[in-house]
């Protein structure tokens, strides 16, 4: 059985059997992890994969599992002792300005720059509510590239905003097409394979020396600046998932 909507899933949930497939992202926000674990335990497949749906919603999970593709010294800070250790580690190697990325926040709203990690620590000492978060060294000279990959479809463009290090296009930024070379495309497809993403919106940081790093990856994302329209984008994603489901059952 192939389930193609959340409404159908809720109706037939208890009737699912090993080998059944659910197509789509789960709409149960607060129960998502429990349902995905239940799927895995019962032998029920979901497309996109359970892993990609978890990574899609958590910057901390991305930094933990996809750390090898991110900036060196990227850390997941889950508690105060992690931050104390990070203070020592960053000070030891001379890292000054840092960036924190709050978990479960999107569109750049949870991205903050700190002139020194000690300022971050002093601020966090007054609150436990912001854990976990991702901590990274701040880099100035880089190119921000958004890559969209759906099967054989690949599109990439540069996002630039002279008024904000977050490079939001919606806040006064601009964009222009970027020629993604084979090495960078392979870089993207390798991390997609690791996170089991059938398709992805990927943000890359390319430094002045040419080094390429993952910033974030998502199943869905903004397309302001992209050539492809939302309707065509969703059509391609749906077709890919349905083809994958048919391949699994044959």
* Structural tokens at position 159: 């996002």
Q: Quick one: pLDDT band at residue 28, thresholds 50, 70, 90?
A: confident
For residues 216 and 186, state if they share a domain.
Answer: yes
Of the candidates 29, 18, 53, the one whose C-alpha atom is nearest the C-alpha of residue 198 is 53
In a domain, 110, yes or no: yes
Q: Please check whether residue 68 is in contact with residue 86, taking contact to mean a CB–CB distance below 8 angstroms.
A: no
What pLDDT score does 172 carry? 63
In a domain, 220, yes or no: yes
Helix axes 32-42, 50-57, angle to 10 degrees: 160
What pLDDT score does 165 carry? 72
How many domains is the chain built from? 3
Tell me the average pLDDT across 14-27. Answer: 95
For residues 127 and 174, state if they share a domain.
Answer: no
What are the pLDDT digits (tens) for 136-156?
999 988 999 999 999 999 999
In a domain, 79, yes or no: yes
| Three-state DSSP state, 11 | helix
| Three-state DSSP state, 46 | strand
Tell me the average pLDDT across 206-235. Answer: 94
For residues 146 and 206, state if they share a domain.
Answer: yes
Q: Higher model confidence: residue 241 or residue 29?
A: 241
Q: Please check whether residue 121 is in contact with residue 177, taking contact to mean a CB–CB distance below 8 angstroms.
A: no
In a domain, 63, yes or no: no
Q: Quick one: pLDDT band at residue 98, thresholds 50, 70, 90?
A: very high
Tell me the average pLDDT across 105-110. Answer: 73
Single pTM value for the model: 0.92
**DSSP E strands, the chain:** 2-3, 21-23, 45-47, 75-77, 98-102, 111-114, 133-137, 142-150, 153-160, 174-177, 199-207, 212-218
Boundaries of domain holding 90? 72-137
Taking all residues of the chain, what is their mean pLDDT, rounded to a whole number? 92
The CA distance from 164 to 202, in Å, is 20
Question: Above 70 in pLDDT, residue 4?
Answer: yes
For residues 79 and 118, state if they share a domain.
Answer: yes
For residues 156 and 123, state if they share a domain.
Answer: no
For residues 239 and 149, state if they share a domain.
Answer: yes
For residues 238 and 157, state if they share a domain.
Answer: yes
| Three-state DSSP state, 237 | helix
């Amino acid at each position: 059985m192939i389930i193609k909507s959340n409404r159908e899933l809720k109706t037939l949930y208890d009737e699912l059997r090993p080998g059944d497939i659910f197509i789509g992202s789960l709409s149960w926000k607060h129960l998502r992890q429990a349902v995905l674990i239940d799927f895995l335990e019962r032998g029920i497949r979901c497309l996109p994969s359970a892993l990609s749906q978890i990574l899609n919603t958590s910057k901390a999970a991305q930094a933990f599992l996809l750390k090898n593709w991110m900036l060196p010294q990227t850390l997941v800070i889950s508690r105060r002792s992690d931050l104390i250790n990070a203070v020592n580690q960053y000070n030891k190697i001379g890292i000054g300005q840092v960036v924190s990325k709050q978990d479960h926040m999107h569109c750049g709203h949870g991205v903050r720059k700190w002139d020194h990690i000690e300022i971050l620590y002093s601020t966090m000492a007054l609150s436990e509510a912001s854990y976990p978060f991702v901590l990274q060294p701040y880099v100035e000279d880089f190119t921000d590239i958004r890559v969209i990959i759906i099967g054989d479809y690949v599109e990439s463009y540069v996002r630039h905003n002279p008024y904000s290090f977050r490079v939001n296009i919606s806040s006064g930024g601009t964009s222009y097409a970027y020629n993604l070379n084979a090495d960078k495309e392979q870089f993207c497809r390798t991390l997609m394979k690791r996170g089991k993403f059938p398709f992805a919106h990927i943000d890359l940081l390319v430094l002045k020396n040419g080094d390429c790093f993952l910033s974030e990856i998502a199943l869905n994302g903004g397309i302001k600046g992209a050539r492809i329209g939302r309707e065509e984008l969703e059509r391609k994603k749906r077709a890919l998932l349905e083809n994958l489901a048919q391949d699994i059952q044959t």
